[in-house]
Amino acid sequence: MNRRITAALLLALAALCARADDGSGLWLPADRARDGMGTLDIARAEVEGIADVVFRIAAGALPGNAGPDGYAITRQDGRIVISAASPVGALYGAYHLQRLARTGGIPVEPDIRESPRYDLRLLNHWDNLDGTVERGYAGHSLWQWDELPGTLSPRYRMYARANASIGINGTVLNNVNATPQTLRPDYLSKVKALADVFRPYGIKVYLSVNFSSPVLLGGLDTSDPLDDGVAAWWAAKADEIYRLVPDFGGFVVKANSEGQPGPQDYGRTHADGANMLARALAPHGGIVMWRAFVYDPDSDDRAKQAYDEFIGLDGLFDGNVILQVKNGPVDFQPREPFNPLFGAMERTPLMVEFQITQEYLGHSEQLAYLAPLFTECLRSDTYARGRGSTVAAATDGTLFGHSPSAIAGVANIGLDDNWTGHHFAQANWYCFGRLAWDHTLTSDGIADEWLRATFSDDDGFVEPVKRMMLSSREAVVDYMMPLGLHHIFAEGHHYGPEPWYERAVRPDWSSVYYHRAGSAGIGFDRTSSGSGATGHYFSPLREIYDDPSLCPENLLLWFHHLPWDYRLANGLTLWDNLCLRYQAGVEAAREFQKVWDSVEDKVDRQRFLHVQERLRRQARDAVWWRDACLLYFQTHSGMPFPPGMERPVYDLDELKRIRLDLKHHN
Ligand code: GCV
């Protein structure tokens, strides 16, 4: 080949490589810390080259009640001073400084005082020991169980760094559908190896445990929580764990839920089960996070069950038990009202469980920025003690005074180069951490700092892309399940629509159970004349939710079964509104493509093309959702499509034949 052409090609290739970014660096600058460093040395390394920083660590370094994780950033004699009560507080201060440097600069006279709203800010991994991840859409599990404890992947420290940079201080390593093997001595030595890597970053490890472990692993003939031998088995297991991991955080338990074993197998209550485990951990300072995600097929309304099961147990749990409650009463839907347990159990600490992995919001195929969903829940007023009793206040210790306070998010992280599958799904990991630290932050502010740190500080990029992010969750709601519809997903994978799905093994796993469409109308009647779920909320919410003319329209069909020609506030029928919301969702998804194309010259090629391809699929799948739902619902409503709606491009029969390639989605 001609030498000049070869040189030109090499130059072009070099230019291309320089502009390539696989997203593996997340929102962080290059790492200057090294394996084996202690917390304070890491903090120093993180601020190197950013500013002249002096660290002051002393028990009384901060005024007031800032706690061990708090910090202050000020300037004295020309130097930046990070003051904290502990090295971990100093590390959080270092990341704050780093964030400022990457998102607009460090103020000349900083006067920053921070302490987290929640004491425990946790990721829950639904990772299995065989490397698969339940509802994971970013490749296999990060944890290389086969190689541990001898070989430590460099990604473990990167993971710890990324988490510490957003304030996360705990990780539950394994799936809540837990295998007892996790507690075997060989696996515990692997857990210890991970804990040792995470410790300098202030991250504690926790494990999900299988309630039947005494039988399945210990060879006992029962796992009855009131049996002395069972309690002794757990106490010995806790001792064994703490010998290896002295700062082990504790257990998460999914019991008597979706086939998992639990205390009810022995006629005992959830409190009996939780307290027995809590007593094994208490001498070591560990906690039990007992999940409230329970439902059985015989109930008339799945949305009522966690409440009905747990409300009578208020006050019966030991002090080191926290009840872990999903944000909504059903299951991480694109939109749900908040779970009415929040605010209702004054004598029991409750924590919110969010799902960062997008099981019901388009997996890692679709862009759905979740800060609006998280804040919508946290800022919902429960009215437990009058106005202002938000879910956040009911869980962060301010309303009822419980300590420690906690919050958890089901992780969306896997072995993919960019960690989360979709580049924009990194923002959901990021915003969960930021909100766990401070739930008063805005979705806009968090998106702004994430975009600037991750992509570009150019306003011409940040502003349009931020608007796209901020509207993305609502777009997903619109083209999947507007007006309070929920759980009308295809069987199993929860990616596409299947509103006609009715032959599930359990009625509450079918779609028709939730939408109840028929010739008389659509929606789940949860009012006082229906299932009565509205009665679980405090006044005035119960009255508001009970009355279709007062109920927020975005929850209308969650609480009401209404005729197709019911008129909404805009004077149009329910049917027309439904059609127009689906249409609006499709249009929003198409708009995202245009927004992204408009910033092409401001993004590296690799991430640009990757996101562009995902947005194309999102727009296509939004049409699939709209057509499937509306063509199906039309068989019940018998009404014509309104003028403002594009006509379906698919046939219902054609859509009913779609079977997704699940390998691609799991
Ligand atoms: C870990 C939903 C998911 C399950 C998950 C369960 C839970 O039902 O589909 O995969 O199991 O929630 O939160 O326990």
Write the pLDDT tens digit of every residue in 490-513. 988 899 999 999 988 889 999 999
Average pLDDT over residues 333-351: 98
Compute φ and ψ for 613, nearest 5 degrees.
-65, -40
> Residue type for 44, please?
R
Name the residue with tokens 């309303």.
399
Other residues' Cβ atoms within 10 Å of the Cβ of residue 448: 18
Question: Is the shortest distance between the CB of 176 and ligand 1 below 6 Å?
Answer: yes
Is-cis flag, bond preceding 404, omega within 30? yes
Q: What is the mean pLDDT of residues 533-557?
A: 98
- Tell me how far apart the alpha carbons of residues 505 and 487 are, in angstroms, rounded to a whole number: 15
Dihedrals phi, psi of 123, to nearest 5 degrees: -95, 140
Residue 663 has pLDDT above 50, yes or no: no
Cis peptide before 540 (omega within 30 of 0): yes
Q: Is the shortest distance between the CB of 346 and ligand 1 below 6 Å?
A: no
Share of the chain above pLDDT 70, in %: 96
Give the model confidence (pLDDT) of 9-34 as tens digits. Answer: 555 554 444 458 999 999 999 999 99
pLDDT at 97 over 60: yes
Ligand 1 atom closest to Cα of 355? 13
Among 125, 135, 210, which is best to mutate for testing ligand 1, by the most ligand atoms less than 8 A from CB? 135
CA 104 – CA 458 distance, rounded (Å): 10
Most ligand 1 atoms within 8 A of CB, residue of 134, 211, 258, 260 to mutate: 258
The shares of helix, strand and coil residues in the chain, as percent rounded to the nearest 5, are 45, 10, 45
Binding site membership of 331 for ligand 1 (Cβ less than 6 Å): yes
* Contact between 539 and 469 (Cβ < 8 Å): no
Considering only CA atoms, which residue is closest to atom 13 of ligand 1? 293
Query: Residue 251, SS3?
Result: strand
Average pLDDT over residues 182-188: 98
In short, whether 493's Cβ falls inside 6 Å of ligand 1 is no
Q: What residue type is assigned to position 205 of the chain?
A: V
Ligand 1 site, residue 126, Cβ cutoff 6 A: yes
Place of tokens 């990167």: 158
Residue with tokens 């909100």: 435
CA angle, 531 as apex, 383 and 316 as ends, to 5°?
55
- pLDDT band at residue 1, thresholds of 50, 70 and 90? very low
Task: Provide the pLDDT for residue 3.
Answer: 52
CA distance linking residue 256 with residue 112, whole number of Å: 46
Residue of 289, 292, 296 lying closest to 306 (CA atoms): 292
Torsion angles phi and psi, residue 353, rounded to 5: -110, 115
569 CA → ligand 1 middle, Å:
36
Q: Is the CB of 295 inside a 6 Å radius of any atom of ligand 1?
A: no
Cβ of residue 153 lying under 6 Å from some atom of ligand 1: no
Burial state string for 62-75 with b = 16 or more CB within 10 A and e = fewer than 16: beeebebbbbbbeb
**pLDDT score recorded for residue 13:** 52
Rounded Cα gap, residues 639 and 412, in angstroms: 41
Judge if the beta carbon of residue 254 lies within 6 A of ligand 1: yes
Give residue for tokens 């020991």.
129
Q: Which of 242, 549, 496, 494 is nearest to 355 (CA)?
A: 494
- Compute, in angstroms, the gap from residue 367 CA to the centroid of ligand 1: 21
Which two three-digit tokens encode residue 501?
Answer: 């799905």
CA of 326, closest atom in ligand 1: 13
Residue bearing tokens 């590296």: 604
The CB of 353 under 6 Å from ligand 1? The reply is no
Catalytic site residue from 130, 240, 258, 654: 258
Residue 132 beta carbon below 6 angstroms from any ligand 1 atom: no
The ligand 1 atom at the shortest distance from the C-alpha of residue 177 is 1
What is residue 7's predicted lDDT score, i.e. its pLDDT? 53
The conformation of residue 581, written as its DSSP 8-state character, comes to H
**The two structure tokens encoding residue 187:** 């696996």
Q: What is the mean pLDDT of residues 444-458?
A: 97
Mean pLDDT of 623-645: 97
Read off the pLDDT of residues 463-491 as tens digits, 9 standing for 90 and up.
999 999 999 999 999 999 999 999 999 98
DSSP secondary structure string for all residues of 131-164? S-BTT--SSS-S--TTTTTT---HHHHHHHHHHH
563: pLDDT strictly greater than 80 = yes
- Measured distance CA(335)–CA(651) in Å, rounded: 27
Q: What is the per-residue pLDDT across 124-171, written as a single tens digit (0 to 9) for each?
A: 999 999 999 999 999 999 999 999 999 999 999 999 999 999 999 999
Distance 586 CA to ligand 1 centre (A): 28
Residue 331 known to be catalytic: yes
Model confidence at 39, pLDDT cuts 50, 70, 90, reads very high
Q: How confident is the model at residue 610 (pLDDT cuts 50, 70, 90)?
A: very high
3-state class (DSSP) for residue 488: coil
Q: Does 315 score more than 80 pLDDT? A: yes
Chain position carrying tokens 């509207």: 471
Cα–ligand 1 centroid distance for 375 (angstroms)? 22
CA quadruple 22, 23, 29, 30: dihedral sign: negative
Ligand 1 atom having least distance to the Cα of 254: 14
502 is catalytic: no
Average pLDDT rounded to a whole number, residues 325-347 = 98
Distance CA 193, CA 144 (A): 11
Tell me, yes or no, if the pTM score tops 0.75. yes
**Residue 474 alpha carbon to ligand 1 centre in Å:** 23
Q: Which of 46, 127, 309, 359 is catalytic?
A: 359
- Separation of alpha carbons 351 and 654, rounded Å: 44
Q: Which pLDDT band, with edges at 50, 70 and 90, does 411 fall under? A: very high
Which two structure tokens, joined as six digits, stand for 302? 């799945």
pLDDT computed for residue 63 by the predictor: 74
Q: Tell whether ligand 1 has an atom less than 6 A from the beta carbon of residue 302.
A: no
Ligand 1 pocket, residue 559 CB under 6 Å: no
Q: Give the integer Cα–Cα distance in Å for 616 and 595.
A: 12
pLDDT of 611 reads: 98
Amino acid at 660: L
Residue 61 is predicted with a pLDDT of: 81
Q: What's the confidence (pLDDT) of residue 6?
A: 54
Residue 12, pLDDT score: 53
From ligand 1's centre to the CA of 175, what distance in Å? 10
CA distance 230 to 213: 9
Which residue's CA is the nearest one to ligand 1's atom 12? Answer: 331
Would the pLDDT of 371 be above 90? yes
**Res 14: pLDDT:** 47
Whole-number Å distance between alpha carbons of 402 and 119: 11
Residue 633 has pLDDT above 60, yes or no: yes
Say how many Å lie between the CA of residue 325 and the centre of ligand 1.
13
pLDDT at 4: 53
Q: Which residues contact 608 (CB under 8 A, 6 or more apart)?
A: 596, 600
Active site residue 591: no
From the CA of 50, how far away is ligand 1's center (Å)?
43
Strand partners, 407: 121, 352
- pLDDT value of residue 66: 77
Strand-pairing partners, residue 239, are: none
Does position 665 have pLDDT exceeding 70, yes or no? no
pLDDT, one tens digit per residue, over 290-304 is 999 999 888 899 999
Instruction: Indicate whether 176 pLDDT > 70.
Output: yes
User: Side chain identity at 366, as an amino acid letter?
Assistant: Q
Nearest to 243 by CA among 189, 291, 199: 189
| Average of per-residue pLDDT across 620-630 | 98
Is the N-terminal amide bond of 261 cis, ω within 30° of 0? no
Q: What kind and span of H or E run contains 408? A: strand 406-410
C-alpha 307 – ligand 1 centre gap (Å): 18
CA 409–ligand 1 middle distance (angstroms): 13
What is the pLDDT confidence band of residue 664, given thresholds at 50, 70 and 90? very low
The mean pLDDT value of the chain amounts to 95
How far is residue 122's CA from residue 661's CA, in Å, rounded to a whole number?
A: 32
What is the edge-to-edge ordering of all strands in the sheet holding 71-76?
53-57, 79-84, 71-76, 112-114
CB 666 near ligand 1, within 6 Å? no
Express each pLDDT in 210-228 by its tens digit.
Answer: 999 999 999 999 999 999 9
Instruction: State whether the beta carbon of 545 lies less than 6 angstroms from ligand 1.
Output: no
For the chain, how far is it from start to end, CA to CA, in angstroms? 46
